[in-house]
Amino acid sequence: MAEYGYTVIYEELDEGGYQVIVPALLGIVTYGRTISEARDMARDAIMCHVRGLIKDNEEVPDDPFGSHQPLREELKVNV
Q: Is residue 19 part of a domain?
A: yes
Q: Is residue 68 part of a domain?
A: no
Q: Is residue 45 part of a domain?
A: yes
> Distances from the Cα of 44 to the Cαs of 20, 30, 47, 72, in angstroms?
12, 10, 5, 26
Q: Is residue 1 part of a domain?
A: no
Q: Is residue 74 part of a domain?
A: no
Structural domain that includes position 39:
9-55
Q: Is residue 65 part of a domain?
A: no
Number of folded domains that form the chain:
1
Rounded to two decimals, the pTM is 0.81
Tens place of pLDDT for every residue, the chain, 79 residues? 888 999 899 999 999 999 999 999 989 999 999 999 999 999 999 999 999 999 999 999 988 877 776 667 777 888 8
φ/ψ (deg, to 5) at 67: -95, -10
